Structure 1
Amino acid sequence: MSGFPYMNRQYLFDKYPNAVVTSDCFKLQDEVITQIDDGEILVRNHYLSLDPYMRGRMSKAKNYAAAQELNTVMQGGTVGEVVESKHPGFRAGETVLCTGGWQLYFRASPSTENNHIRKIDVSRIPMSVYLGAAGMPGITAWYGLNKILNPKPGETLVVSAASGAVGSVVGQLAKQKGCRVIGIAGGPEKCDYVVEILGFDDCIDYKAYPDTETLSHELKQLAPNGIDAYYENVGGYIMDAVLENLNPFARVAICGLIAGYDGRSIPINNPRAILVSRASITGFIVSDHLDIWPQALAELAEAVANGVLIFKESVSIGLESAPEAFLGLLQGHNFGKQLVKLV
């Protein structure tokens, strides 16, 4: 039995930020969905994922993906329930992972749209985890660690933003591979969590070491034999400090540079360190590697279900909370994966 009409609410991208994103960059509007066409499904989004990459797309500057267009629904990953279907591969009641955006309902054509709609099994883990440890952030961690850093037992690995959705998975997977893992995070609470709950060997509170010299010195104390692999989520002086401590032929994977999401440039101040260490530095975007998603997603979901991969979520309630939650994410206020609960 059809439930039409559906009352949708959505945030549009209303204006480009000058530097720091502000809440007036978004516009809330309502729409009525009265039908879907053959080949389409209608998804009721339950959770919306907020991620740093969204800031990069809120700009006309060259980026790895097309800029978010004005007056369009803000992009974002979601999980939810199919409530209407005219597609033979989906039926009402199924749970899906998709790119439903900042809205309550998502009307999609799975056969034609590049939105990577996937059915997910929520019998063993909560659906929200498919937006975090067993979703895009977890797969990002899995790819950067396994395909770029390829750490070996006994090596020292450092990961920035260690308590976040990506960094927390990187460190746990690296520990399972026998590495010594040092995290970098902001504040004693996050550092305590990284060591005591996630099992990292050490964690540096970068707020206590506010420049390259002091942070580099602390890294030398915790990694006297140098750093073999570095998973970069931040950039800025944190990256400079790590580069100074790299071992010969170290590997660096760059998946994010959140230090520059307020519009500032973030130059590397000592590129000579790259030459001296003969480091390999690889930037990557996980959406370029969709072939590994099924394997990574299955492994991560199994690890969460078995309790060997720990996750933490920051959840804001209601679609209307999304802009402020996103601004907080860019300022490092979240603790773990930032989500918006829509149901």
Structure 2
Amino acid sequence: MKYRRLGRTGLYVSEICLGAMTFAGQEGSMWRAIGSVDQAGVDAMIGRALEAGVNFIDTADVYSSGESERMVGQALKNLGVKRSDVVIATKVYGEMGKGPNDRGASRGHIMDGVKASLDRLGLDHIDLYQIHGNDSITPVEETLRALDDLVREGLVRYVGCSNWAAWKMMKAHGIADHRGYARFETVQAYYSIAGRDLERDIVPMMQDQQMGLMVWSPLAGGLLSGKFGRDEDGPEGARRASFDFPPVNRDRAWDCIDAMRKVADARAVSVARIALAYVLSKPFVTSVIIGAKTNEQLDDNLAAAEIALTVDEIAALDEASKLPPEYPGWMLERQGAHRVPQPFKPKG
């Protein structure tokens, strides 16, 4: 397992992050379809991940209405995990009650949320606390001030956001820098070989601001697992659903799978491993979040960290998955062709 620096911080996290969205999954809820791993299964998965070198676990208060956090905390206790050996990330924003203030990124919801998350996790601090979505109502200043207070109180070590637009993250950085608040060190976002939209605006912003990237759904909701073909349903019990989330251009996705299958067959590994290895090959990626329903899935995903794609393999996959031209990107590229930094050569 390799470890990468988390944004500008001095913290190092494993390039594979264990996602906890498949934990619990109450009957009758949307989470049931995503996963319903019980406590014994959670203990086993976290134990396996730790043995493989994973030190990074991501959950959220909204996952199964808090049960995911509770099960993560119980597993750490059951396994006797030393607190400093794991980096625990969770999120706040989603609906946690029926009241009008039981959601969002307001100071009130954040302050209530962090206390509830700490209680469920059984911890005295959260390593990375993330705003789970874009709140178009709450001023960014209010959100940042609340997060900064949590950092100053020692309840939270670092803060991040998820599913924000590039412009809003830059606005947040400007406010944080001007007022001396804790800044967003990470962004958690969707990225996959079949969904490279992030590269248009968010990646350049992240690189400029030295933010870490945590990738969710690197297999595009299971579509890129290699279990399915253009006209195939896949094995019984496999999660095909309708593949409406995350939204993916199907034709491009199948082309990507065809290209990955060639690489996978040559290496005698699963297509899923190649899909994960491709995302990990990108220098702007800090950690890839994997979620599993079984230990077999977990082991296969963990093995992606052992694959180092060649330059030719990456080039072939890049070509199969390249984004269509979009303004202003194509104009910036054309006009900037002669403004690429070159070494200065004095005359004479």
Fold match by TM threshold 0.5: no
Give the structure with the larger strand fraction: 1
TM-score calculated relative to the size of structure 2 = 0.28
